[in-house]
Structure formats: structure tokens, C-alpha cells
Chain A
Amino acid sequence: MTALLLGALGLTLSLVVPGLLARARWPDRAPVAAVLLWQSITLTAVLAALGVVLAAPEEVTRAAGSGQFAAEVTVIGALAVAAVIIVRLLLSLIGVSRRSRARRARHRLLVDLLDRAEQHRELGPDNLRILDGALPLAYCVPGREPRVVLSNGVLQVLDREQVDAVLAHEQTHLRHRHEVVMESFTAFYRAVPGPLRSRRPLDAVHLLLEMIADDVARRRVGAAPLRAALEQLSDAVPLADDVKPEADARGRRLARLSSSHKPSVVLNALVTAAAVGLLVLPTVILVVPWLDRALEEWPL
């Protein structure tokens, strides 16, 4: 019974809930709590899968009244499968963060060599790098020695206030270590077997992190310059018609920046409580009673 319930929970969390949450619009009003909820959903799905692997064989052998030997073999097999799942997740995480670090180190080396910032010292931060080129680009390179990179095209289409808004946005990604959040979701995505994979959590969390950076930038420089910057930079880049999800994401960010900013305290509290509850309740309700029963008859 425990295994069935955990299985149903795991499948719901990995197949049904992400679709609903990705389509919902309320996370736009509580992006920080929503990221927490996505993390909780993902972690709970993993724990549920581990729970099924451990509980199902034990429950089956107990119900079948198998002998001591069969029970021992089953428990060892279940532990081995659980270990494989955990190792696969860890290896994926190590791989993703190692490749990201190497890529960023190389990228940082090149932007440092190409930097034209000596002509733009008035813009401020020491970690700012300016690239030649008319294509408007603004991004950050996270890591121990982070960089914010602007192309010359950005300086051509944005005024000083708008540039400050973009800088505040990018510095927020760096200060809040958003790359760590993205890396963990990427690692999970890559560790999941192909047919069960979904980009939904990755894309949704990415958009929420952009909103979080928008909110900090808005508090620092006001919504108007940030909104103008976002519009200017989008107009300057020819976005293909078939990149609809990206256009939607941009629309959602712009919509948030046009409405008056009232962070919803109630919504934040509710979503945070849901995230914590999701992680804790299944363990308390399902796993602990099962563990009690299973340990009583522990064959090893």
C-alpha cells in the first residue's frame, strides 16, 4: 500500500503537477516562493521514487509470506537500486557543475581579453566587460570571479538609466547565485531517463529567476527604465516567429513590470508552506509508518 501511494505521488509530481504549475500565472506574483515550490516538487518526486524502490519489494515479500532468504535478497536488491538512483543523480550534478565551470572559465578568459571597458569606466562595476559588436547582448558569467558582459550594441540603444537597470538585473543573478539553482535542475533533467524527461521545470524556474532579478532591479532603479530596456533589447534582436515560448516569457515579464508592484505576502506564505508541506508530509504520513512495520520484521 505504501509503495502504491508513493508511486502515485511520484508520478503525479513528475507528470501532472509540472504542466499545471508551468501554465499557472500566480507564480509571477511570488517568484521566490514558486522557485522553492519547484525545488520541493522535484525533490519529493525523487524521494517518492526511492520510497517505491525500497518499499515495494519489502511489501510484496511480506504479503507473499516469503521466507527469510527471499526477504534478505529482496532488501539487498532494493538497496542496490536505490543506490544506483542516488549515484546517477550525484554524477549528473557533478558533471553539470564541472562542465559549467570549465565553460565559464574559458568564457571569462575571452571576455577579459576582448574587454573595451576602459572607454566606459563611468558605468561603474569592476567586473563589467564590454564587447565590440552591434548585436545588443547583456549577460553574466557566474563563478568565483563573476563578470557582467554588455555588448557595445547595448550602450548604443539604451540610455544610462536603462543600462543601470540591466546591470542591477545581472548583478542580482550573480549575488543570489542563480546558476546553482539552474545547475541543480539541469542535473536532475539529465539524470531522468529519456521518456520521463520534461523541460518544463527548467524553463519555468529559469523564467522565475529572471522575474526575481527583475524585482531587485526594479526596487533599485524603478520599473520604467527596466521595462524600457527589456523592450529596446527585444526589438533590436530579430526574434523568429517560431520562438513563441520565449515571446510569452518576455510578455509575462513586461506585464509584471507594467502593473504596480505589490508583493503578495499571503501568496508567498501559502506557497512556501505548500513547498515545505510537500516535502515533509509524505514522509511523515507514508514513510514513517511503513518503516516502523518494516523494521519490526527486518530480515538482516
Chain B
Amino acid sequence: MLGHMALGDLEREVMTQLWDAGEPLTVRQVHERLSRQRDLAYTTVMTVLDRLAKKGVVRQQKADRAYKYVPAQTREEMTASVMLDALTSSDDQDAALAYFVGQLPPDALAAAIEAAQKKR
């Protein structure tokens, strides 16, 4: 059986495969890519993709007879939105998560995140 940590690791590895592929992948294709590094059941990969789809981070596309999976956002997009969420607070919302660097106004934040992403 998969432990809790193992499942989290697996979800991350599946996402990494989808991000690196740059095109929609079938369960079989994800399974093949992961199997190069480790022994993994096909059904496990299917379960993980299903979970990720339920969480809204990957989208399912019907292609011919098989389902293909594609990330809902690119890695860069998701990173930027996570950072924005970490730094955002308003009176209607609960406090921001990230305080160490201090607070910026929202539009300055978005610009700063975007600029930093380009710098890489």
C-alpha cells in the first residue's frame, strides 16, 4: 500500500511529467515515463491522475478512445498564482501567509512576481 507521503511524492512526480511533456498525455504514457525510474502499477498512475483531476490541477481531455491529461496551468503560472496567494491579504480575507519580506500593494505584487519569473 502507498503511505501518505508516498502518495504526495507520486502526485508531484506525475505533475512534473505532465509539465515536462508539454503536451497532453494518456495514462499509459505517464506510466511509461514514470516506470523508467521505478516499478509502478498502471492502476496507481490512473488513480493519481484521477485525484489530480478532482483537485482541479489537471484537466481530462477525451481523445479518440483514451483520456488524455494536461496540467490546468503551466508550472510558471501555478508558481506565480501560489506566490500571489501567499502575499495577498484584504479586510474581507484572512491574513496573508508571507510576511517575512513585508507587504506590497496587489498590483505591485503581481508585477514583482512577473518580473522575477522573467529574470530566471
Contact = CB atoms under 8 A, between A and B. Distances in A.
Interface in A168-191: 169-170, 179, 182-183, 186, 189-190
Chain A contact residues, majority secondary structure: helix
A141 B97 contact: yes
Contacts of A190: 91
Given A135-B112, A237-B112, A99 B94 contact: yes
Contacts of A137: 83, 86-87, 98, 100-101
A217 B99 CA distance: 15
Interface in A120-175: 131-141, 149, 151, 153, 166, 169-170
B79 A237 contact: no
A201 to B, nearest CB: 13
Given A133-B113, A138-B101, A169-B100, A96 B94 contact: yes
A99 B93 contact: yes
Given A131-B79, A132-B75, A186 B94 contact: yes
A133 B86 CA distance: 14
Interface in B49-106: 55, 57, 75-76, 78-83, 85-87, 91, 93-95, 97-105
B110 to A, nearest CB: 11
Contacts of B87: 137
Interface in A214-267: 230, 233-234, 236-240, 242-243, 246-247, 249-250
A103 interface: yes
B12 interface: yes
A201 B78 CA distance: 34
Contacts of A104: 97
B120 to A, nearest CB: 5
Nearest to B107: A240
A103 B12 contact: no
A110 B113 contact: no
A64 interface: no
Nearest to A170: B100
Given A149-B86, A183-B94, A186-B94, A233 B100 contact: yes
Given A139-B98, A234-B101, A151 B83 contact: yes
B15 interface: yes
Contacts of A170: 100
Contacts of A246: 102-103
Nearest to B94: A100
A246 B80 CA distance: 23
A132 B95 contact: no
B12 A206 contact: no
A210 interface: yes
B101 A237 contact: yes
Contacts of B101: 136-138, 233-234, 236-237
Interface stretch (A18-26, A40-48, A111-119, A270-278): A111-119
B102 A249 contact: yes
A131 B104 contact: no
A109 interface: yes
13 contacts: A100-B94, A109-B55, A109-B57, A113-B78, A114-B75, A137-B86, A139-B97, A139-B99, A234-B101, A236-B101, A237-B104, A242-B105, A246-B103
Given A107-B86, A110-B82, 16 more contacts: A110-B57, A113-B11, A132-B76, A135-B116, A138-B98, A140-B97, A141-B97, A186-B95, A206-B99, A210-B99, A239-B104, A240-B104, A240-B105, A242-B105, A243-B102, A247-B102
What 8 A-B pairs come out closest when comparing CB atoms? Answer: A139-B98, A135-B116, A134-B116, A138-B100, A100-B94, A246-B102, A134-B119, A237-B101
